[in-house]
Amino acid sequence: MNQRENILKLIEQNSRLKASEIATMLDIEESVVEQIITELEEEKVIIGYHTLINWDKTEDEYVSAMIEVKVNPQRGQGFDRIASLIYNFPEVEAMYLMSGGYDFSIELKKAPMREIARFVTSKLSVIDEVQSTATHVILKKYKDHGTLFDNDDDDRRMAVSL
């Protein structure tokens, strides 16, 4: 594995690592790490840094939703044109072209249920190429981006012994 890939793997696990820490871990010069990270950002290999928040530990009352979408792609335009109609809505956090029963999987930004319903009924479902949707509200997160959420205090199952 080359230096670029090693750096990518490290910052994918922890984007808060400093160049000096990465340099120590990989036994290379700090200036080399800084240069490689700058190049990766300019090449759009690194396209963002994110903070993962356990919203269950806050007073936040918003919900997250995932929507499966089945569409009729138009000849010569494929899925990309329809995808751009959808992913440009500010409510859309992430969007993927999928294999299987649905064509797209969409993750919405956290919002009140009423706003999620309004998005599906007045923005998404009215797109001509959209055949059907299935909306799923996320009730609880156990793991996200490889990180386990601390949900031990919510586990109230009765112990069973044999």
Residues 35 and 79 reside in one and the same domain: no
In contact, 22 and 11? CB cutoff 8 Å: yes
pLDDT at residue 156 is higher than 60: no
- Mean predicted confidence (pLDDT) in 87-114: 95
Residues 25 and 80 both lie in one domain:
no
Residues 8 and 71 in one domain: no
pLDDT for 128 beyond 60: yes
- Is pLDDT of 151 > 80? no
Question: CB within 8 A of 136, min separation 6: which ones?
Answer: 65, 66, 67, 68
Residue 103 · residue 72 · CB < 8 Å: no
Number of structural domains in the chain:
2
The pLDDT assigned to 157 comes to 55
Q: What is the average pLDDT value for the chain, to the nearest integer?
A: 88
Q: Output the domain CATH number for residue 19.
A: 1.10.10
User: Does residue 97 belong to any structural domain of this protein?
Assistant: yes
Regarding whether 64 and 113 lie in a shared domain, the answer is yes
pLDDT at res. 133: 96
Cβ atoms within 10 Å of 96's Cβ, excluding its own: 11
Q: Residue 7 is encoded by which pair of tokens?
A: 């750096």
Alpha carbons 90 and 152: distance in angstroms, whole number: 34
Question: For residue 28, what pLDDT is reported?
Answer: 95
Is residue 153 very low, low, confident or very high in pLDDT (cuts 50, 70, 90)? Answer: low
Asked which of 85-89, 135-139, 145-149, 150-154 is least confident by mean pLDDT, the reply is: 150-154
pLDDT of residue 155: 52
Confidence of residue 80 (pLDDT cuts 50, 70, 90): very high
Q: Are residues 18 and 66 in the same domain?
A: no
Do the beta carbons of residue 149 and residue 143 sit within 8 Å? yes
* Rounded-to-integer distance, Cα 133 and Cα 117, Å: 12
Which residues constitute the domain of residue 72?
Answer: 55-140
For the sheet with 92-97, list strands across it: 92-97, 104-108, 64-71, 130-138
What local confidence, expressed as pLDDT, does residue 12 receive? 86
Q: What is the mean pLDDT of residues 65-75?
A: 93
Q: What does DSSP say about strands 92-97 and 143-144: parallel, antiparallel, or unpaired? A: unpaired
Query: Which pLDDT score, from 0 to 100, does residue 160 have?
Result: 61
Alpha helix ranges (H) inside 2-159: 3-13, 19-26, 30-42, 80-87, 113-119
| Residue 142: count of CB within 10 angstroms of its CB | 7
